[in-house]
Amino acid sequence: MARISIYDSTLRDGAQAQGISYSVDDKLKIVERLDALGVTYIEAGNPGSNPKDLEFFARAADLKLAHSRIIAFGATRKVGIPVADDTNLQSLLQAGTAAVAIFGKSWDYQVTEILRTTLAENVAMIGDTIRYLKQHGKEVVYDAEHFYDGYKANPDYAMQTLAAAFDAGADSLVLCDTNGGSFPDEIFEITRAVCARFPKAAIGIHCHNDSEMAVANSIRAVQAGATQVQGTINGLGERCGNANLCSIIPNLQLKLGHECIPADAMRHLTSVARSVSEIANVLLNDKAPYVGSHAFAHKGGMHIDAVVKNPVSYEHVNPEAVGNSRRVLMSEVAGRSTILARINAVDPTLAKDSPETRRIIDKLKELEHEGYQFEAAESSFELVVRKMLGRYTPFFELVEFKVIVGEPSINEMNSSVIIKVRVGDQEVLTVAEGDGPVNALDRAARKALERLYPALGEIRLTDYKVRVLDSDKASAAKVRVLVESTDGHESWTTIGVSTDIINASWQALVDAMEYKLLRDQEAKRG
């Protein structure tokens, strides 16, 4: 099968997503992760648009990358301006990258109504720009913006724009479904026509997800002859996002047999998805194919029984192939075999009818009656099992805490917590302020413990949910608190239940910290 070049635009197109703003350090961290994944190109920004991108390219010049080439992105020369006088093109050269990407108009409507120039001038702009960059020794990727809409409106002119780029020496021609409205059959037929018209050109595909077709469209373009696929990690991008490389890469490589990244790098896919999500400060979609926490999660008893016998019964690929893991969810429909599987993860020697297993199952029923729900808090359930089996020693113990809430808030800090914890024979007393009592409690606990357990500084809370369990009791109702945490590599969820929301939150926070420390301890022991 043809080798497919993976072209990542997380740092450029992905940065155009609402709510995302990378620092230069953020971008450098993501570059390192993408290089470890083995993508061919990393489109890192537009040096002509802002000083931050220029700083990035200056610092990136010192990076020693094993697999990836960094690309600077820009537009064709402006209307009526010679290439040597175009400031954006000079910024591209100043970026110092060996490869550049240039986008130009392929849709006649965009030329006449948006650029407000002639069709002939647009063709000249494309050719002039690419020739100029090739004269400076650059590898040039040409992005034909709005190509599919342009082809559907005026196929002859859309092809003229590609011919201008190809004749000027472009190393690849990338067809863009910029509005994200095309369907897979359209993408296939038009891409096939382009491949037939330019048999010696490397053809690429760049899709947006406005019709939720971006992944399917990218796959169909490859099947039609494209050998470069552009997209972003987790599908980040403007409006509805770009084509999701976390789905495209395994689909092409594991399902269709194309070589996209080194075979041994595929197991990094999930960790890259999670770390990029963490750096971008956005939640990773739990239901994301391949890399989401629900991608290989099984709940129904019949499903779980079948997966235990043979995973292929309900899993289309081995989760470990993409660095993910199988999850067997704890719930009222899971059955005894599911609970046993979770117990055996802690102690493989326990049998279904052993006294320890029966005690744990009875405890689980008791806790569920109290309002605990371990389907979404498997980390807390693991701690329960360890405690009942005598295989767990707490890392710290709460002596007491006091919460003070004051209004109006000062600098959004309306709460303070005084906390005393015990670690071995040492007691630590500290105080912290926060935006609300739970935030103050979290900060105080970390402040007290991080000196003894520095790894707690890696934890960040990514989600906090509260559910009222018996609303008929009004303000005296029991609540269930779920806290999702991450250290940038792994995510886990813990639970607390109480008639006191602060106490329930404390239970969940303690489990979150204990789980992190336990995982790190076991990792050190191998």
SS3 204: strand
Q: Which residues contact 210 (CB under 8 A, 6 or more apart)?
A: 179, 180, 181, 239, 240
Residue where the block lists tokens 């770009």: 242
Residue where the block lists tokens 């997209």: 231
- Paired with 329 in beta bridges are none
- Paired with 467 in beta bridges are 480
Q: Is the pLDDT of residue 424 over 60?
A: yes
Please, are residues 429 and 451 in contact by the beta-carbon 8 Å criterion?
A: no
Cβ of 224: how many Cβ atoms within 10 Å? 21
- Structure tokens belonging to residue 417: 């917590």
**What number of residues does the chain have?**
526
Q: Is the pLDDT of residue 333 over 60?
A: no
Please, are residues 30 and 64 in contact by the beta-carbon 8 Å criterion?
A: no
Average pLDDT for 191-203 = 98
Q: Is the pLDDT of residue 334 over 70?
A: no
Q: What is the pLDDT of residue 57?
A: 94
More confidently predicted of 249 and 334: 249
* Per-residue pLDDT reduced to its tens digit, 72-87: 999 999 999 999 999 9
DSSP state at residue 51: H
Q: What is the pLDDT of residue 332?
A: 47
Separation in Å, CA 78 to CA 82, 86, 115, 396, 458: 8, 7, 9, 64, 47
> Amino acid letter at 168?
A
DSSP state at residue 114: I
* Per-residue pLDDT reduced to its tens digit, 346-385: 888 888 778 888 888 788 878 877 888 776 678 888 898 8
5-280: CATH topology is TIM Barrel (3.20.20)
Q: Strand 479-486 relative to strand 460-468: parallel, antiparallel, unpaired? A: antiparallel
How far apart are alpha carbons 183 and 148 in whole angstroms?
A: 10
pLDDT averaged over the chain? Answer: 91
| pLDDT band at residue 143 under the 50/70/90 scheme | very high
Task: Look at phi and psi of residue 436 and say left if phi exceeds 0, alpha if psi is from -120 to 50, else beta.
Answer: left
Average pLDDT for 148-173 = 98
Please, are residues 324 and 290 in contact by the beta-carbon 8 Å criterion?
A: yes
Share of the chain above pLDDT 70, in %: 95
Q: What is the pLDDT of residue 474?
A: 63
Q: Which residues contact 302 (CB under 8 A, 6 or more apart)?
A: none
Instruction: Report if pTM > 0.95.
Output: no
Average pLDDT for 313-342 = 76
397-525: CATH topology is Double Stranded RNA Binding Domain (3.30.160)
> Amino acid letter at 407?
E
Report the b/e string of 318-340 with b at 16+ CB within 10 A. Answer: ebeebbbebbbbbbeebeeebbb
Cis amide prior to 199 (ω within 30 degrees): no
Q: Where do the domains of the chain lie?
A: 5-280, 297-388, 397-525
DSSP state at residue 85: G
Q: What is the pLDDT of residue 317?
A: 95
297-388 CATH pick, 3.40.605.10, 3.90.1150.10, 4.10.430.20, 2.30.110.10: 4.10.430.20
Query: 254-268, 277-291, 320-334, 371-385: which has the highest mean pLDDT?
Result: 254-268
How far apart are alpha carbons 303 and 299 in whole angstroms?
A: 7
* Per-residue pLDDT reduced to its tens digit, 390-410: 888 899 999 999 999 987 777
